[in-house]
Each structure stands twice: as structure tokens, then as C-alpha cells.
């Protein structure tokens, strides 16, 4: 048996897909996880998603679908977490190529269905921004999810839409997501996190980190992203809900608009028109800004002093946890220093590590 899981937004959704497979399907044959190579600027300094032409060592599965094995490598200066995921997890990671728009992704899905004859197809989104209308003020990255939703709705085979961790991506308020989903399919537990625990030690996804943390029982308010957005960690955090595909498409104006697009630039244009922006434009602007920033020294003494100041301010805002991605930016460090910062802090103050999050403590 082969299960096909489509990671709606790529990145952390692919890691969550591995956790979902273990929780729902157990010891069955491993999944094929169809996902973007879109790791944002922390990992990949080039804005937007990568395509097959950006890698060496891919393996062709169908005429339009390439898999990313452990030995694959992104072509510099591009970066990607997918080869390491393939090395550490037992699944096959297939590459979503959005450069031919929704038509191209639909073609990839159709070929995978014909080639694999999967027992089931799940479309998984952590957080629930796949259910966005497009005009929500907190919405930041609707394009990837809209593309996968639009493509999955055009495949002539049943696809189940699953939303894990309502609101954990910080894109929509949890109550908005809960109002648009159906029953709980599964609630993740600490045991479910086990298969991906080693990945969480290095993977930059904030939403999946919070999903895993809530499954392990962490509760509070987690500050995320460069803007320091507060995300509640509640009993609803580890839940996986089923949602109706047709209703999701009916809600998602961007997904409907890009149903027949044949290029990523065409889909981007619709995003600018409907949402007022393209997330790739945001990445382009931020990448240009980052190239102008001088390299910073990761001096342990200086970093810990800055950390104390940050934690005091965060505590005053009612924040209980944060991610290492947010800490890196809050302490004015470069994204490439995230892992070094993480190791420094865990070694210096191990009692504050609520894996995979950092617990805020004041050091008065």
C-alpha cells in the first residue's frame, strides 16, 4: 500500500506529514510526500520556491515528478531542507514544481495517482491558512496553499483535506479556522512526535514546532516570526481536523482565481490583486535588505545579555515561549546563525528548552 500526502505549504507541512503518517497509518509501507522546496530565507537565500532545475541528484518518478533522495543537493547558492529530510525519515519526498502554475501541479498529481495507485491521498496544512478568504489582515503566505488546494480540487480522485493545529501558523485566528473545519480526525500525542523528534532539532518550521510542542503538553503563548506574532498554545493545538475540499475552495478566493494558471508569475499576479501582495515579493525585498546587513559575531556573553533583555520584555507581554527562528531575528543575528544560537542557549540554560521551543524566563 502507498499513501500519498500532499504538504500544502511545504517546509514544516512535510515534517508534519511524516508525523501524520505514523499516527494514522502506523507500520504500513511508507508514504510519498509531495512537497515544495520552499524553505524561506533562513535556509535558502533565493526568494521563492525551487524547481527540479535547482538540484543535482534528483530521481525521475514520472515525466513531471522528481523525487529528492538523501544524496540530492541544491545548486548553490540555493538551499533546501529536503535532502536531509530524505536522509532522516523513511518516506519518499517528491517535489512540487509550481513554476507551471496550478495546471503543472495538477499534472504532477495526476501522474502520481496513475503511477502509485495510492490507497489514500491526504492534503495536509498546519495552521489552516489554506482556508483563508484572502483578505484577512494576519494572512502572510497564502500562495503555496492556494496552489495545492486548487490542484487537488481538479484531480479526478478523492482527496481528504486535513488541518492540523488550528491557528498555529499565525496566519488566521484559531477561532476562524475552527469555524471552518469539521470533526477531529486525530489528536497528536507525545508518542506521535517520536518519529520526527530528531528532525525538530534542526528544522526551522515554527508552525510544526508548535504543533509538536502542544502534542507534548506545552501550553502558553508563543512569539513567532520576525514581527513577533503571539500564537496561543492550547489544548486545541495538537488536533487534526478534516475539512471539506469544496467548501475550502469556495472560501479561498485566490485558489479559485488560479485554477487554470500555467505559470507561477501568473499565480503571483492574482495574489497581488486579491490579497494585495505576493509573499515572494516580500521575500525579494527582505533578501535585498539582508544582503546589506553586516555579519554579526555570535559572542556568547553578548548574546546572553541581549537574551535577558528580550525575555524581560517578552514576559511583560505575557509571552511564555518562542521559537529559535524568532530568537535569531530578535537578537539581531543572521538566519544562518540560528543553529549555533540554538546550541549555545541549550548548553547555557538547558532548563529553558521545552523541545523544540524556548521557554521564556526572567533572570532578575
Q: What is the pLDDT of residue 283?
A: 92
> Do 204 and 314 fall into the same domain?
no
> Do 237 and 334 fall into the same domain?
no
- Chosen domain end from 222, 238, 257: 257
Task: Determine phi and psi for 243, rounding to 5 degrees.
Answer: -130, 155
> Do 329 and 203 fall into the same domain?
no
pLDDT in tens, 112-149: 999 999 999 999 999 999 999 999 999 999 999 999 99
Establish if 279 belongs to a structural domain. Answer: no
Side-chain half-sphere of 165: how many Cα atoms within 13 Å? 31
Q: Which residues, other chains included, contact 361 with Cβ-Cβ below 8 Å and sequence gap of 6+?
A: 311, 315, 349, 352
Would you say 287 and 130 are in contact if contact means Cβ atoms under 8 Å apart?
Answer: no
> Do 56 and 149 fall into the same domain?
yes
Structural domain range at position 220: 3-257
Establish if 274 belongs to a structural domain. Answer: no
Segment 263-281 shows an average pLDDT of 97
Segment 195-210 shows an average pLDDT of 96
Q: Please state the separation of Cα 340 from the chain's center in Å.
A: 21
- The three grid cell numbers given for residue 3, joined into one nine-digit string: 499513501
C-alpha span between 321 and 250 (Å, rounded): 35
Q: What is the pLDDT of residue 334?
A: 79
- The three grid cell numbers given for residue 122, joined into one nine-digit string: 491526504
- Chosen domain end from 235, 257, 279: 257
C-alpha span between 295 and 292 (Å, rounded): 9
Q: What is the pLDDT of residue 364?
A: 59
Q: Which residues, other chains included, contact 285 with Cβ-Cβ below 8 Å and sequence gap of 6+?
A: none
Establish if 282 belongs to a structural domain. Answer: no
pLDDT in tens, 20-37: 999 999 877 789 999 999
Establish if 349 belongs to a structural domain. Answer: yes
Query: Which pLDDT band, with edges at 50, 70 and 90, does 295 fall under?
Result: low
Q: Which residues, other chains included, contact 297 with Cβ-Cβ below 8 Å and sequence gap of 6+?
A: none
- Residue listed under C-alpha cell 481538479: 154
Whether the model clears a pTM of 0.75, i.e. scores above it, the answer is: yes
Q: What is the pLDDT of residue 1?
A: 78
Establish if 290 belongs to a structural domain. Answer: no
Q: What is the pLDDT of residue 357?
A: 98
Q: Does the pLDDT of residue 193 top 80, yes or no? A: yes
- 308: which strand partners? none
Segment holding 122, helix H or strand E = strand 120-126
Segment 179-195 shows an average pLDDT of 97
> Do 245 and 304 fall into the same domain?
no
Q: What is the pLDDT of residue 226?
A: 81
Q: What is the DSSP string of 251-264?
A: H-HHHHHTTT--SH
Segment 322-328 shows an average pLDDT of 94
Q: Does the pLDDT of residue 294 top 80, yes or no? A: no
> Do 337 and 193 fall into the same domain?
no
Establish if 283 belongs to a structural domain. Answer: no
Would you say 150 and 259 are in contact if contact means Cβ atoms under 8 Å apart?
Answer: yes
Establish if 218 belongs to a structural domain. Answer: yes
Q: Please state the separation of Cα 202 from the chain's center in Å.
A: 14
- Structural domain total, the chain: 2
> Do 194 and 116 fall into the same domain?
yes
> Do 214 and 314 fall into the same domain?
no
Name the average pLDDT for the chain.
95
> Do 69 and 162 fall into the same domain?
yes
Using only C-alpha atoms, the chain has a radius of gyration, in whole angstroms, of: 19
- Residue listed under C-alpha cell 501568473: 266
- Chosen domain end from 202, 236, 257: 257
Side-chain half-sphere of 273: how many Cα atoms within 13 Å? 11
Query: Which pLDDT band, with edges at 50, 70 and 90, does 288 fall under?
Result: confident
C-alpha span between 183 and 163 (Å, rounded): 10
Segment 63-75 shows an average pLDDT of 98
> Do 91 and 11 fall into the same domain?
yes
Query: Which pLDDT band, with edges at 50, 70 and 90, does 333 fall under?
Result: confident
Establish if 271 belongs to a structural domain. Answer: no
> Do 202 and 116 fall into the same domain?
yes
C-alpha span between 193 and 208 (Å, rounded): 10
> Do 44 and 106 fall into the same domain?
yes
Q: What is the pLDDT of residue 362?
A: 82
Segment 321-348 shows an average pLDDT of 92
Alpha helices by DSSP H, listed for the chain, are: 12-25, 40-43, 82-88, 101-116, 143-152, 174-178, 190-193, 197-200, 206-215, 245-251, 253-257, 264-275, 279-291, 300-316, 324-330, 338-348
C-alpha span between 348 and 300 (Å, rounded): 9
- Among the ranges given (62-66, 116-120, 195-199, 325-329), the one the predictor scored with the smallest mean pLDDT: 325-329
Q: What is the DSSP string of 251-302?
A: H-HHHHHTTT--SHHHHHHHHHHHHSS-HHHHHHHHHHHHHTSPP----HHH
Q: Is 137 exposed, middle or buried (0-12, 13-18, 19+ CB in 10 A)?
A: exposed
Q: Does the pLDDT of residue 102 top 90, yes or no? A: yes
SS3 at position 5: strand
Amino acid at each position: 500500500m502507498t499513501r500519498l500526502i500532499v504538504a500544502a505549504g511545504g517546509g514544516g507541512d512535510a515534517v508534519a506529514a511524516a508525523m501524520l503518517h505514523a499516527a494514522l497509518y502506523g507500520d504500513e509501507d511508507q508514504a510519498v510526500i509531495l512537497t515544495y522546496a520552499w524553505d524561506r530565507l533562513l535556509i535558502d537565500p533565493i526568494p521563492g520556491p525551487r524547481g527540479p532545475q535547482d538540484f543535482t541528484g534528483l530521481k525521475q518518478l514520472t515525466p513531471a515528478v522528481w523525487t529528492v533522495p538523501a544524496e540530492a543537493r541544491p545548486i548553490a547558492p540555493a538551499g533546501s531542507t529536503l535532502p536531509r529530510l530524505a536522509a532522516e525519515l523513511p518516506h519518499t519526498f517528491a517535489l512540487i514544481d509550481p513554476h507551471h502554475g496550478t495546471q503543472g501541479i495538477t499534472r504532477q498529481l495526476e501522474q502520481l495517482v496513475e503511477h502509485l495507485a495510492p490507497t489514500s491521498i491526504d492534503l495536509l496544512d498546519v495552521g489552516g491558512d489554506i482556508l483563508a478568504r484572502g483578505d484577512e489582515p494576519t494572512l502572510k503566505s497564502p500562495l503555496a496553499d492556494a496552489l495545492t488546494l486548487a490542484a487537488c480540487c481538479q484531480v479526478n480522485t478523492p482527496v481528504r483535506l486535513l488541518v492540523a493545529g488550528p491557528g498555529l501558523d499565525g496566519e488566521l485566528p484559531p477561532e476562524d479556522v475552527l469555524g471552518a473545519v469539521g470533526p477531529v480526525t486525530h489528536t497528536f500525542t507525545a508518542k506521535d512526535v517520536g518519529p520526527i523528534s530528531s528532525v525538530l532539532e534542526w528544522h526551522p518550521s515554527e508552525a510544526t514546532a508548535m504543533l509538536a510542542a502542544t502534542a507534548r503538553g506545552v501550553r502558553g503563548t508563543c512569539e513567532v516570526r520576525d514581527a513577533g506574532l503571539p500564537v496561543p498554545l492550547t489544548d486545541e493545538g495538537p488536533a487534526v481536523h478534516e475539512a471539506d475540499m469544496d467548501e475550502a475552495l469556495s472560501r479561498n478566493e485566490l485558489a479559485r482565481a488560479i485554477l487554470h494558471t500555467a505559470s507561477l508569475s501568473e499565480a503571483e499576479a492574482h495574489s497581488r490583486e486579491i490579497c494585495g501582495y505576493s509573499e515572494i515579493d516580500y521575500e525579494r525585498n527582505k533578501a535585498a535588505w539582508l544582503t546589506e546587513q553586516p555579519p554579526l559575531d555570535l559572542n556568547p556573553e553578548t548574546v546572553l545579555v541581549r537574551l535577558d533583555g528580550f525575555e524581560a520584555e517578552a514576559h511583560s507581554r505575557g509571552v511564555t515561549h518562542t521559537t529559535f527562528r524568532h530568537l535569531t531575528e530578535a537578537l539581531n543575528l543572521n538566519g544562518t546563525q540560528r543553529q549555533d544560537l540554538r546550541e549555545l542557549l541549550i548548553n547555557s540554560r538547558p532548563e529553558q528548552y521545552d523541545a523544540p521551543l524556548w521557554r521564556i524566563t526572567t533572570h532578575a
